[in-house]
Structure 1
Amino acid sequence: MADEPTLGEVQRRMEQGFIDLKDDMRELGVRLDSKVDQKVYDLRHEALAARVTTLETLREKDAEKIVATRRWLVGAVIVPLIGILLPVIILLVQGS
């Protein structure tokens, strides 16, 4: 009988167990409150996907503008410049 706890000791252990259980439940509630709802997660994911798609489209348009600018530069500046300088160079070489 010396190894058996008294009724007071049993009561204290049970009260401590209930206190630990309440603390665990409170901690679990806090963790659940910090979780993101699946619907909110899905909405954020869809918005992010739409934003990425928009940015990719804008990047492609910018790339097309760069190509168009290069073509304009070659067509409007370099070709006429070569057209003007080439005869001059040919005349200088033939004149020598």
Structure 2
Amino acid sequence: MEKALWYLFAGSRGGPNRVRIVRELTRRPRNANELAEELGLDYNTVTHHLDMLREHGVVESGDHEYGKLYFPTDRFEEHADTFEEIAAEVE
């Protein structure tokens, strides 16, 4: 997981936006539209980042397709300290 976190947040151009998305999701679950509005990002940009985060086990979504909510995974939360370390470098 630590390698995936470094890649997602520090190893690519989208890292800062992914940090912002994860920060919002740790405050409370949200859907892609809510994240786009809250962060001032394009909906397609948010869904791209959510897909990347989901593929690497950082977030998971509910079962409903329309308006599905995203949550940090338990696995991600076990590595929250690593995320904070990386986020401090990216922000």
TM-score under structure 2 normalisation? 0.20
Looking at CA atoms only, which structure, 1 or 2, has the larger radius of gyration? 1
TM-score under structure 1 normalisation? 0.19
Normalized per residue, which structure has more strand?
2
Higher relative contact order (CA 8 A, sep 6+): 2
